[in-house]
């Protein structure tokens, strides 16, 4: 109950015209929820955020699953521990430090630009800063450890003899991957996807810092309501709409994914 | 179907020689047991044949063709793992169908073949179950059905019955043997259970520390062990150590033991004689003297009753000898009793020392 208490307060606020803390008179209203539907901007931003969540999740699968596979099935002993630490390290580092370090890498005259120009014989201009790709890169970097960890745990639980059994029955490595390993690691993929998709859809730090003007998403609008506009009731209502949408998506997706496995 | 030839195969892990120059000819359609203590290299040898691991040197052929560059999935082998290795995400029928399905067989063919394989292992009705809903013995049968449904050239089994309890194991031994005869597949069966090796196989290879110690039909190895290790690992044996006299040995106390079988050794060398416990007759008196029989006097220290037979432990010159006699109900000997042991030279195998 205690866990839900602050959140319940937010539910309460989302139905108010004003914050009771401000001293102004307040009343109950559905207006905050209606606001979402009255302006197409909110829906547009929500769709953009969902797309962002989907893209980041996909990139995390593309990068995280093979990494988890290598960690669980290829590397042994010391080298496994070392690589594991490298994967976890960004996870432990402060979010702002992580994001600003990307800003240094991605901006014009930054680390990536300088390094590429030092290696390549022709001059290119790399300025990814304040762009959609920069937001994707920052978010994938922040969230890929979740995918690596959840997939690593399920992959590690798959007995090597299952892989060998598959091969002895005439299956190529690829067929074993498709028919045995991926189905058996589905729980890890689903858990990782859920852990990544949900917070990414509501993310605001990476879009704001790395995205600049292109970085306006549903999450940044919610953040604005809380820290800039001080319209907490609207911010709360927008968050709960997001929560509802995300829950519906998860409810629809999980049986489909389970059947696929 | 095909035979398998392993020639001069060695495989090391670091400084450890898991296989040391092993050569075995596995005959087409034969049932071959690889027997040895834990860590002797049995699994390693099986993995070289399967193609999961590759020898440092030596050659392996299946059906006369070298498999050096042939990956596992192209070797057309069937393998049964000790832990069964059934796919937990598939039904029993899908597990059995796997090999046919990755090959791209037609659905109708797969269905008939899977049913036939499941019927063969007497699990015809359980195709819809998941592996975790089966007992250990049933999983074992599914693993076997899955391995043979693709009609492999060779069936490799790594201690397949090791995880089953005794009664189930004996059932499965009979079953496995029946199935193997029915389809006539070349079978290589790894076990550390000597009884299993003796009762099931046409030939046995005994491994120790990565080396092939002895190889041959079960009766030959049992009756003519070539080393103390083979004598004691396959069955029970009483060993006497002394100096060779050419056709036997002389014990340190001067007693002569005549051997009618085994190695031909030059007189004077160190050697052993092995005698199986059931070949020794035990009596309270020497009876009529018999010029050819080996004879020793001793004292019964213990008797273990085992239903149809009894094992007597007889102390003699600081050595404990084992004698097994059928329980006929008349000749029971008490502990502490002085006895005379007699056995023929034909039951005595001369073994070079070392
Ligand atoms: N992949 C491996 N890496 C290192 N040592 C191994 C490996 N596989 C087997 N060995 C060693 O080789 C020896 C033989 O092992 P194994 O063939 O599994 O024996 P068995 O099956 O007869 O019990 C053992 O000492 C084992 O530790
Ligand atoms: Mg083994």
Residues paired with residue B271 on neighbouring β-strands, in sequence order: B242, B352
The pLDDT tens digits of the residues spanning B300-322 come to 999 998 889 999 999 998 899 99
DSSP alpha helices (H): ranges in B26-135?
42-50, 92-102, 107-120
Cα-to-centroid distance, B296 and ligand 2 (Å): 41
| pLDDT attached to residue B10 | 97
The pLDDT tens digits of the residues spanning B52-62 come to 999 999 999 99
Cα-to-centroid distance, B13 and ligand 1 (Å): 8
State the pLDDT confidence band at B8, using cuts at 50, 70 and 90: very high
| pLDDT attached to residue B34 | 97
- The complex scores an ipTM of 0.85
Distances (CA, A) of B294 to A155, B127, B232, B291, B341: 64, 61, 21, 8, 8
The pLDDT tens digits of the residues spanning B93-150 come to 999 999 999 999 999 999 999 999 999 888 999 999 999 999 988 999 999 999 999 9
Does the distance separating the beta carbons of A159 and B85 come in below 8 Å? yes
Does the distance separating the beta carbons of B85 and A162 come in below 8 Å? yes
> Which residue's alpha carbon is at the smallest distance from atom 1 of ligand 1?
B13
Q: Vertex A178, ends A176 and A180: CA angle to 5°? A: 55
Q: Which residue has the higher pLDDT, B86 or B336?
A: B86
Which residues form ligand 1's pocket by a CB distance below 6 Å? B 13, 16, 18, 36, 38-44
Q: What CATH code is assigned to A53-232?
A: 1.10.3720.10
What is the helix, strand, coil percentage profile of chain B, to 5? 25, 35, 40
Span B229-253, average pLDDT: 91
Task: Give A 174-233 residues with CB within 8 A of chain B.
Answer: 175, 179-180, 183-184
Distance CA A14, CA A222 (A): 12
Distance CA B212, CA B59 (A): 16
- To the nearest 10 degrees (0 to 180), the angle between helices A232-260 and A40-69 is 40
Residue B34: CB atoms within 10 Å? 31
- To the nearest 10 degrees (0 to 180), the angle between helices B107-120 and B136-148 is 130
Q: Is A81 on the interface with B (CB under 8 A)?
A: no
Nearest-atom number in ligand 1 for the CA of B38 is 23
The pTM of this model reads: 0.85
| pLDDT attached to residue B292 | 63
The pLDDT tens digits of the residues spanning B204-233 come to 999 999 999 999 999 999 999 999 999 999
| Burial classification of residue B280, based on how many CB atoms lie within 10 Å of its CB (0-12 exposed, 13-18 middle, 19 or more buried) | buried
Does the distance separating the beta carbons of B98 and A169 come in below 8 Å? yes
| pLDDT attached to residue B290 | 66
CA A38, A41, A44, A49 torsion-angle sign: negative
B4-223 CATH pick, 3.40.50.300, 3.30.1540.20, 1.10.1740.10, 1.10.357.10: 3.40.50.300
Distance CA B99, CA B222 (A): 39
Does the distance separating the beta carbons of A162 and B87 come in below 8 Å? yes
| pLDDT attached to residue B331 | 66
Distance CA B62, CA B70 (A): 10
SS (H, E, C) A74-134: HCCHHHHHHHHHHHHHHHHCCHHHHHHHHHHHHCCCCHHHHHHHHHCCCCCCCCCCCCHHH
Q: Are A28 and A233 in contact (CB under 8 A)?
A: no
In the predicted model, is pLDDT for residue B201 greater than 80? yes
Distance CA A246, CA B79 (A): 46
In three-state secondary structure terms, B36 is coil
Span B231-254, average pLDDT: 90
Span B188-215, average pLDDT: 94
Distance CA A37, CA A35 (A): 5
One digit per residue, pLDDT tens: chain A, 261 residues? 677 888 888 888 889 888 877 778 888 888 889 989 998 999 999 999 999 999 999 999 999 999 999 999 998 888 888 888 888 887 788 888 888 888 888 887 788 888 888 888 888 777 788 889 999 999 999 999 999 999 999 999 999 999 999 999 999 999 999 999 999 999 999 999 999 999 999 999 999 988 888 888 999 999 998 888 888 899 999 999 999 999 999 899 878 777 765
Q: Which residue has the higher pLDDT, B263 or B64?
A: B64
Q: Vertex B96, ends B92 and B99: CA angle to 5°? A: 145
Q: Are B339 and B314 in contact (CB under 8 A)?
A: yes
> Which residue's alpha carbon is at the smallest distance from atom 19 of ligand 1?
B39
| pLDDT attached to residue A261 | 59
> Shortest CB distance from A168 goes to which of B50, B86, B103?
B50
> Shortest CB distance from B103 goes to which of A159, A166, A170?
A170
Distance CA B122, CA A142 (A): 54
Report phi then psi at B114, rounded to 5: -65, -45
Q: Which of A73, A161, A163, A168 to mutate to test the interface with B (most CBs of B within 10 A)?
A: A168
Distance CA A141, CA A93 (A): 12
In three-state secondary structure terms, B230 is helix
Nearest-atom number in ligand 1 for the CA of B37 is 22
- Give A197→chain B minimum CA distance, Å: 26
C-alpha closest to that of B332 among B317, B315, B351, B311:
B311
The pLDDT tens digits of the residues spanning B342-352 come to 999 999 999 98
| pLDDT attached to residue B90 | 96
Element at B271 (helix H, strand E): strand B270-275
Q: Are B188 and B25 in contact (CB under 8 A)?
A: no
The residue extents of the domains of chain B are 4-223, 236-352
Q: Are A16 and A29 in contact (CB under 8 A)?
A: yes
Q: Which class does domain B236-352 fall in?
A: mainly beta
> How far out from the chain centre does Cα B221 lie?
10
Nearest-atom number in ligand 1 for the CA of B41 is 17
B38 alpha carbon, closest ligand: 1
């Amino acid at each position: 109950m205690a866990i839900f208490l602050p959140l319940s307060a937010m539910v309460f606020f989302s139905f108010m015209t004003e914050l009771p803390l401000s001293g102004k008179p307040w009343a109950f209203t559905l207006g905050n929820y209606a606001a979402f539907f009255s302006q197409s901007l909110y829906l547009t931003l929500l769709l953009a955020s969902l797309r962002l969540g989907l893209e980041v999740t996909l990139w995390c699968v593309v990068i995280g699953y093979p990494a988890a596979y290598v960690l669980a099935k290829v590397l042994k002993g010391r080298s496994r521990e070392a690589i594991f630490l490298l994967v976890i390290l960004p996870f432990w580092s402060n979010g702002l430090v992580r994001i600003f370090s990307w800003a240094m890498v991605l901006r014009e005259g930054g680390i990536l630009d300088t390094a590429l120009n030092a290696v390549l014989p022709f001059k290119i201009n790399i300025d990814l800063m304040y762009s959609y790709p920069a937001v994707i890169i920052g978010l994938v970097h922040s969230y890929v450890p979740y995918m690596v960890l959840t997939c690593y745990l399920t992959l590690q639980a798959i007995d090597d003899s299952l892989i060998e059994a598959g091969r002895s029955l005439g299956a190529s490595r690829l067929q074993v991957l498709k028919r045995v390993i991926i189905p058996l690691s589905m729980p890890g993929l689903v858990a990782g996807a859920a852990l990544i998709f949900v917070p990414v859809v509501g993310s605001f730090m990476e879009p704001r810092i790395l995205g600049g003007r292109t970085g306006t998403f549903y999450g940044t609008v919610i953040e604005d309501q809380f820290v800039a506009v001080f319209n907490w009731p609207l911010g709360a209502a927008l968050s709960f709409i997001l929560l509802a949408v995300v829950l519906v998506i998860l409810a629809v997706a999980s049986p489909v994914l389970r059947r696929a496995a | 179907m095909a035979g398998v030839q392993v020639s001069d195969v060695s495989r090391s892990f670091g400084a450890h020689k898991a296989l040391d120059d092993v050569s075995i000819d596995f005959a087409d359609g034969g049932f071959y047991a690889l027997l040895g203590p834990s860590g002797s290299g049995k699994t390693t040898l099986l993995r070289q044949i399967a193609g999961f691991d590759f020898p440092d040197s030596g050659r392996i052929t299946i059906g006369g063709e070298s498999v050096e560059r042939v990956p596992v999935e192209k070797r057309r082998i069937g393998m049964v793992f000790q832990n069964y290795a059934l796919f937990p995400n598939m039904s029993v029928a899908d597990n059995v169908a796997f090999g046919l399905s990755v090959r791209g067989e037609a659905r109708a063919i797969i269905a008939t073949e899977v049913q036939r394989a499941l019927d063969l292992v007497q699990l015809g009705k359980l195709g819809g179950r998941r592996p975790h809903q089966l007992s250990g013995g049933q999983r074992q049968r599914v693993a076997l059905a899955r391995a043979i449904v693709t009609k492999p050239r060779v069936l490799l089994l790594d201690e397949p019955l090791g995880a089953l309890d005794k009664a189930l194991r004996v059932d499965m031994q009979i079953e496995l043997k029946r199935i193997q005869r029915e389809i006539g597949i070349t079978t290589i069966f790894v076990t550390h259970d000597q009884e299993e090796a003796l009762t099931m196989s046409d030939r046995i290879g005994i491994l120790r520390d990565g080396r092939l110690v002895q190889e041959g039909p079960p009766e030959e190895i049992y009756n003519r062990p070539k080393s103390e290790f083979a004598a004691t690992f396959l069955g029970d044996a009483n060993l006497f150590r002394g100096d060779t006299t050419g056709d036997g040995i002389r014990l340190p106390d001067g007693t002569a033991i005549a051997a009618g079988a085994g190695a031909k050794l030059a007189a004077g060398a160190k050697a052993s004689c092995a005698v199986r416990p059931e070949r020794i007759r035990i009596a309270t008196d020497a009876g009529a003297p018999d010029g050819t029989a080996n004879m020793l006097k001793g004292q019964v220290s213990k008797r273990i009753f085992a239903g149809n037979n009894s094992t007597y432990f007889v102390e003699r010159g600081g050595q404990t000898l084992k004698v097994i006699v059928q329980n006929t109900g008349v000749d029971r000997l008490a502990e502490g009793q002085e006895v005379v042991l007699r056995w023929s030279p034909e039951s005595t195998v001369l073994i070079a020392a070392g």
